[in-house]
C-alpha cells in the first residue's frame, strides 16, 4: 500500500490547530493525511515579539520550537504561519518537499537552506489584503480627521477642538494618494478609495504599467511620489533592497500638509527621521501600525507626539484573514493533485523542477 502524503500544520495563537483542521480537512486531497498541532509560544504578545525578531534577524532569532522538531521528520508538506523554520529544523526533515508559509513575507523561513535541500517554499500572497487595506483607510481617516485624538480627549473629560493640523484638515476628493507598492493591498486601496474621488500615484518596479493604468494609477519614481502625494501609504515587501527605502532624504521631500501611513514593515521607513519630521511639524502627520521596537515602549519618541496615530500591529488581524490563510494554503497545495499548473507563489524559483517532480510523483500514485 502506498504511504500517504503527510501534511504537518503548525498552529499558533492567531491560527490554532483546531481552526487549521476545520478549514483544511474538508479540502484535503485523496492520499494525504493532516496532522495539526499548536506551537505553545505563550500567547499573542510573546508571539508578536518573536515575529519582530524573525523580521529583523531571520529564523535563527530563536531556537527551533520543540513542537516543530518533533513533528517535522514526518512531514512531506509543512504549513507554518509564524513558527520559524531554520536550517537546523530543516536538517531534521528528510522527507520534506514543500513548505507553505501562511503569509506573504517569509522572514521566518531559511529560504537559502531550503533551496540547498531542494525544498520548495510557497508563500500566501494576499491572505490578509482585505484586512490591511481596510485598516490603512481607517488609519488615514483617523489621523487626518483627528478621530483618535478627539476620542482620547473625550475619555479624559476634555471637549477638544484644537489640533496640530487645524489649518489644513483635508477632505479626500481630489487629494493624491501615493502608494509605495502596488500589490494586492495597494490595488484594494485604490478600489476602495476611488469612491472618495481621490487621485493615485504608485511606485512599484514590478507593477504592470497597463494594469496600473486600467486601475487609474499613474506609475512614477519614488522622489516624485513623495513630492506630489497628499497621503503616502506603504505596502512594499521587506527585502534587503527595500530596508530603509523611505529614507530621511525622501521624507524631506514630502509636502508640509502630507501624511504617511505604514501598515507594512517598520524597517521600510527611517523611523527616527520620521519622528523628527513629525516633532518639528515638517509634515502634517503619520499613522503607524508597525514599529522598530514592539511592543512600543511608552518612552518611545513617537508616543510623545500629538500628530501621529499609533496602533499595536493589528492591521492584518481579522477572523476572516486567518481562515482565508488556511484555505489559500490547502487550495494551493491541491494543485499538486490536480491537473494543470503548478502551485502558485513559489518563492525559491530554483526549486521549480523539484516541485514538478513532486507533482508527478503524486500523480503517479493516483493512477
Write out the catalytic residue numbers: 265, 294, 313
Spell out a b/e string for 226-262, using b for 16 or more CB atoms within 10 Å of the CB, else e: bebbbbbbbbbbbeeebeebbeeebbebbbebbbbbb
In degrees and rounded to multiples of 5, residue 58 shows phi and psi of: 85, 180
Alpha carbons 154 and 220: distance in angstroms, whole number = 42
Sheet with 176-180, strands from edge to edge, namely: 217-219, 199-203, 176-180, 231-234, 259-262, 285-288, 308-310
- Using alpha carbons, select from 195, 45, 183 the residue that is nearest to residue 123: 183
In degrees and rounded to multiples of 5, residue 37 shows phi and psi of: -145, 155
Q: What's the gap between Cα 103 and its chain centre? A: 6
- C-alpha cell, 186: 495597494
- Using alpha carbons, select from 33, 32, 36 the residue that is nearest to residue 18: 36
Say what the alpha-carbon torsion angle 160, 161, 164, 168 is, to the nearest 10 degrees: 150
Pairing relation of β-strands 231-234 and 176-180? parallel
Cα within 13 Å of Cα(202), Cβ side: 27
Please compute Rg for the chain using Cα positions.
Answer: 22
Amino acid at each position: 500500500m502506498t504511504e500517504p502524503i503527510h501534511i504537518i500544520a503548525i498552529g499558533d495563537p492567531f491560527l490554532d490547530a483546531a481552526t487549521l483542521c476545520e478549514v483544511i480537512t474538508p479540502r484535503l486531497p485523496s492520499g494525504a493525511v493532516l496532522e495539526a498541532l499548536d506551537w505553545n509560544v505563550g500567547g499573542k504578545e510573546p508571539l508578536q515579539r518573536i515575529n519582530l525578531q524573525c523580521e529583523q534577524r531571520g529564523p535563527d532569532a530563536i531556537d527551533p520550537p520543540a513542537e516543530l522538531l518533533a513533528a517535522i521528520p514526518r512531514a512531506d508538506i509543512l504549513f507554518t504561519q509564524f513558527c520559524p523554520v531554520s536550517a537546523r529544523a530543516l536538517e531534521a526533515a528528510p522527507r520534506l518537499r514543500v513548505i507553505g508559509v501562511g503569509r506573504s513575507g517569509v522572514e521566518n523561513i531559511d529560504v537559502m537552506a531550503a533551496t540547498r535541500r531542494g525544498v520548495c517554499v510557497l508563500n500566501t500572497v494576499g491572505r490578509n489584503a482585505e484586512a490591511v487595506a481596510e485598516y490603512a483607510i481607517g488609519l488615514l481617516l483617523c489621523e487626518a480627521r483627528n478621530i483618535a485624538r478627539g476620542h482620547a480627549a473625550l475619555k479624559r473629560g476634555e471637549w477638544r477642538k484644537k489640533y496640530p493640523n487645524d489649518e489644513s484638515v483635508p477632505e479626500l476628493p481630489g487629494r493624491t494618494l501615493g502608494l509605495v507598492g502596488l500589490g494586492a493591498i495597494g490595488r484594494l486601496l485604490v478600489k476602495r478609495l476611488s469612491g472618495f474621488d481621490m487621485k493615485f500615484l504608485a511606485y512599484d518596479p514590478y507593477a504592470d504599467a497597463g494594469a496600473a493604468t486600467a486601475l487609474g494609477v499613474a506609475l512614477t519614481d519614488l522622489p516624485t511620489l513623495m513630492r506630489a502625494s497628499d497621503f503616502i501609504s506603504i505596502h512594499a515587501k521587506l527585502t534587503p533592497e527595500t530596508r530603509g527605502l523611505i529614507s530621511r532624504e525622501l521624507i524631506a521631500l514630502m509636502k508640509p500638509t502630507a501624511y504617511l501611513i505604514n501598515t507594512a514593515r517598520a524597517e521600510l521607513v527611517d523611523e527616527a527621521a520620521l519622528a523628527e519630521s513629525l516633532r518639528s511639524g515638517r509634515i502634517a502627520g503619520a499613522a503607524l501600525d508597525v514599529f522598530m521596537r514592539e511592543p512600543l515602549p511608552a518612552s518611545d519618541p513617537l508616543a510623545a507626539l500629538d500628530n501621529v496615530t499609533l496602533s499595536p500591529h493589528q492591521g492584518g488581524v481579522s477572523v476572516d484573514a486567518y481562515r482565508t490563510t488556511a484555505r489559500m494554503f490547502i487550495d494551493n497545495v491541491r494543485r499538486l493533485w490536480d491537473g494543470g499548473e503548478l502551485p502558485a507563489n513559489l518563492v525559491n524559483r530554483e526549486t521549480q523542477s523539484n516541485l514538478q517532480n513532486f507533482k508527478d510523483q503524486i500523480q503517479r500514485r493516483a493512477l
